[in-house]
């Protein structure tokens, strides 16, 4: 890349884009292609494509072991896993959750006519603020969903303490948090149950997929029934259910990615520290940091932009990067409470969510994962540093154009 010295060097203002090919956030990790294809051959030979086949069973055992829990119930995706877990836990009425999450957490509740009650987040950790939970509890509240955003565990003890005292059940949306630890213990065994996502963009993918993990045998059994139309054996339906099954080819991909998990973490960690170094000197930018005493999968490189100090807003920076073919994302924007299905019910929700409101205008997610090398990270950091150096002119030009 030719170094960018003046605003006209940026692609947004007519310069050559820094990347010819687009650099994505959440480009899937592939793992060992040959190992995956061997498993696909097995599946075709066996003609056992779904309904708790051998690969799904193996995947469930492996995930349970990774998470340090007794039971893993694999599902077709994490949204259905959240829906089934919510039902199996007897959630009804109102459930408290953060608004600063992927919309699926809130949809999973509303889809079942459970009212999502949005709670604000801790501005440093980005996870639900336990101090704001209690004032949201009403006689209709049945549970709390904490989200381990970016793989950062929630303040688990505080949430569990409130739940015990107020007779509520706790579900954790751990979609981001496979292989992350809290106080040295793997995420998976906290609360009544936790939900992982294996969507293509996630740390460990099965194309589409999810799972609920728990140490509660009865809960796991109920979820197994619900996942498969309530079948307890041929012709014997004993529970109301749906179709939440994971198929064999997904489990084959999940198992293949599990074998590469350590490499994926190492790549993510390397990229994370390359970004950390490359952006350290940029005023107004803060790279979201993980506790070095804990394990993390480093799947998300999150930058918070303080528009005043940086001289550029998050949105301006994202526009600038997109023109360079760096497809930074505004995760999570605008916050579930501002999305149509929820805003129409709770038009005043934002009044209770000042931190969520602020955070959702400040965060962006940068490309990482096995599709991104340190050379690319260095270029992305160069662009951001150059933008910072000429931020007044860039900002003036963007504002003049819009």
Footprint of ligand PLP (CB under 6 A): 77-79, 101-102, 104-105, 147, 173, 175-176, 197, 199, 210
* 322: Cβ contacts below 8 Å, ≥ 6 apart: 328
- Nearer to ligand PLP by Cβ, of 78 and 265: the residue is 78
- Nearer to ligand PLP by Cβ, of 36 and 331: the residue is 331
Q: Nearest CA to 324 among 16, 24, 25?
A: 16
β-bridge mates for residue 196, sequence order: 211
Q: Alpha-carbon distance 226 to 238, whole Å?
A: 10
Reduced to 3 states, what is the DSSP secondary structure of residue 277? Answer: helix
- Nearer to ligand PLP by Cβ, of 105 and 268: the residue is 105
Q: Nearest CA to 352 among 141, 119, 129, 128?
A: 119
Minimum CB separation from ligand PLP for residue 101, in Å? 5
Exposed, middle or buried, 111 (CB in 10 Å: 0-12/13-18/19+)? Answer: middle
Q: Alpha-carbon distance 197 to 209, whole Å?
A: 6
Minimum CB separation from ligand PLP for residue 80, in Å? 7
Structural contact between residues 199 and 205, judged by C-beta atoms closer than 8 angstroms: yes
What are the tokens at 50? 């779904």
- Nearer to ligand PLP by Cβ, of 105 and 256: the residue is 105
What are the tokens at 248? 């064999």
Structural contact between residues 251 and 59, judged by C-beta atoms closer than 8 angstroms: yes
Minimum CB separation from ligand PLP for residue 218, in Å? 25
- Nearer to ligand PLP by Cβ, of 207 and 273: the residue is 207
Structural contact between residues 218 and 199, judged by C-beta atoms closer than 8 angstroms: no
DSSP state of 228: B
- Nearer to ligand PLP by Cβ, of 102 and 346: the residue is 102
Minimum CB separation from ligand PLP for residue 95, in Å? 14
* 290: Cβ contacts below 8 Å, ≥ 6 apart: 151, 152, 272, 296, 298
Dihedrals phi, psi of 229, to nearest 5 degrees:
60, 15
- Nearer to ligand PLP by Cβ, of 18 and 128: the residue is 128
Minimum CB separation from ligand PLP for residue 196, in Å? 8
Minimum CB separation from ligand PLP for residue 176, in Å? 6
- Nearer to ligand PLP by Cβ, of 53 and 98: the residue is 98
- Nearer to ligand PLP by Cβ, of 19 and 150: the residue is 150
Helix (H) or strand (E) holding 108: helix 103-110
* 189: Cβ contacts below 8 Å, ≥ 6 apart: 67, 68, 69, 213, 214, 215
Minimum CB separation from ligand PLP for residue 395, in Å? 31
Minimum CB separation from ligand PLP for residue 244, in Å? 11
Minimum CB separation from ligand PLP for residue 287, in Å? 20
């Amino acid at each position: 890349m030719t170094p960018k010295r003046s605003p006209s060097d940026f692609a947004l203002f007519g310069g050559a884009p820094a990347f010819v090919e687009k650099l994505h956030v959440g480009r899937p990790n592939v793992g060992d292609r040959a190992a995956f294809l061997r498993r696909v051959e097995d599946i075709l030979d066996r003609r056992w494509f779904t309904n708790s086949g051998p690969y799904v069973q193996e995947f469930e055992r492996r995930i349970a072991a990774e998470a340090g829990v007794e039971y893993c119930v694999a599902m077709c995706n994490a949204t259905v896993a959240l829906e089934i877990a919510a039902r199996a836990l007897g959630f009804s009425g109102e459930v408290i959750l953060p608004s600063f999450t992927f919309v699926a957490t809130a949809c999973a509740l509303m889809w079942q006519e459970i009212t999502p009650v949005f709670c604000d987040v801790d501005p440093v950790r980005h996870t639900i603020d336990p101090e704001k939970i209690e004032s949201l509890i009403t006689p209709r509240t049945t549970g709390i969903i904490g989200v381990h955003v970016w793989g950062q565990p929630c303040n688990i003890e505080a949430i569990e303490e409130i739940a015990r005292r107020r007779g509520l059940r706790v579900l954790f949306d751990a979609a981001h948090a496979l292989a992350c630890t809290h106080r040295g213990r793997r995420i998976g065994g906290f609360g009544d149950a936790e939900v992982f996502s294996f969507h293509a963009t996630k740390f460990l993918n099965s194309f589409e997929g999810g799972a609920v993990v728990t140490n509660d045998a009865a809960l796991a059994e109920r979820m197994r029934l619900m996942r498969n139309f309530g079948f307890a054996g041929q012709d014997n339906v004993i529970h109301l259910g749906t179709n939440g099954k994971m198929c064999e080819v997904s489990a084959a991909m999940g198992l293949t990615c599990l074998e590469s998990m350590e490499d994926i973490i190492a790549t993510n960690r390397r990229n994370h520290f390359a970004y950390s170094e490359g952006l350290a000197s940029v005023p107004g930018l803060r790279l979201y940091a993980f506790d070095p005493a804990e394990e993390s999968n480093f799947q998300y490189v999150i930058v918070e932009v303080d528009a005043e100090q940086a001289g550029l807003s998050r949105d301006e920076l994202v526009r600038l990067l997109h023109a360079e073919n760096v497809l930074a994302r505004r995760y999570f924007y605008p916050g579930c409470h501002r999305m149509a299905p929820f805003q129409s019910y709770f038009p005043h929700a934002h009044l209770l969510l000042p931190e969520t409101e602020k955070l959702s205008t400040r965060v962006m997610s940068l490309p990482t994962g096995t599709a991104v090398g340190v050379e690319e990270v260095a270029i992305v950091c160069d662009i951001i540093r150059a933008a910072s150096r000429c931020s007044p002119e860039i900002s003036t030009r963007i504002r003049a154009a819009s």
